[in-house]
Amino acid sequence: MKKVLLAITTFNQSEYTKVCIESLKLINDEYDILVIDDASTDDTISLCKELNIPCIAKTNGLGLTDSWNKAYHYFMAKKDEYEYLAIANNDILIPNGSLNEMKKVLDKWPCSLVVPMSTKLGCGHNVVQSIENWYGTNDYDEPDNYQSVQSYLLNIKKTETESNNLYKFDPIRMKMFNGFFFMMNKKICQYEREDGHLFDPAFLNTKNEDEFNWSKLIPNDDYAMLCKTSFIFHYKGVSTFKIIKDYGRKSNDLNWLKNRI
């Protein structure tokens, strides 16, 4: 089985990081976790030590793009150990089956980035990436249903496969994607910048995804492939300390999570 390096970028919000890691315990895939922390002031680092998870801990906040580049450099330094790199926010839930479906897309389109579906809220500016856009409305936005949603997609795929209706699940080329989760393989190194980075360091916490669009990093419009059989729940907006009206909670008031940890 080809191994995945799952790089989780963090800045505080350790409660979400813990829940994210808890969700991974049910995954039947070979993966290693790496946390890249942007100088958190909470207990994120001690959490990583407690869970025996390697962590690249910055002493100064250098932004999300810097974390992405550090994940890429770590991945390439360990390229004999890993076939795939997945870069993720910490405010996500990863169900069993989602990584494997994205790996299948990468194996067929090896120089593309692959992204999953999420809820409309979780996809932010990119409604095409939302599961509602393809499968209608349902209770996808309930965190506790994250595994049920992925199982639902795999069951539909199985049914359609048996009736030779696989075209419905072909990945969709996208020029824009939401960066809460994306996966690539080692062949992405051919698009490395002259400065050795994969991502432009000038883009700090904004325009990270735009770089794959406007600079034409990947040719033939294969900037990102949407895997329509992969779902990852994204809480969205956790690090901004804004009120998430859709859930009726303040994102910096995480007491509601304690009964799930």
Q: Is 1 exposed, middle or buried (0-12, 13-18, 19+ CB in 10 A)?
A: exposed
- pTM (2 d.p.): 0.85
User: What was the pLDDT predicted at 171?
Assistant: 85
240: number of Cβ within 10 Å: 10
Alpha-carbon dihedral sign for residues 12, 15, 16, 18: positive
| Residue 29 domain boundaries | 4-260
CA atoms of 143 and 233, how far apart (whole Å)? 7
Contact 87, 114 (CB under 8 A): no
Place of tokens 């906040």: 61
User: What was the pLDDT predicted at 205?
Assistant: 61
User: What was the pLDDT predicted at 238?
Assistant: 55
Closest CA relative to residue 60, chosen from 196, 204, 157:
204
User: What was the pLDDT predicted at 248?
Assistant: 38
**Per-position pLDDT tens, the chain of length 261:** 479 999 999 999 999 999 999 999 888 888 999 999 999 999 999 999 999 999 999 999 888 889 999 999 999 999 899 999 999 999 999 999 999 999 999 998 877 789 999 998 888 778 889 998 888 877 777 888 899 999 989 888 877 666 666 566 788 888 778 889 999 999 888 888 899 998 888 877 655 555 554 344 555 555 688 999 999 999 976 543 333 333 333 333 334 333 333
User: What was the pLDDT predicted at 178?
Assistant: 86
What's the number of domains the chain is made of? 1
Q: What is the CATH number of the domain that holds 235?
A: 3.90.550.10
User: What was the pLDDT predicted at 229?
Assistant: 93
CA atoms of 176 and 231, how far apart (whole Å)? 18
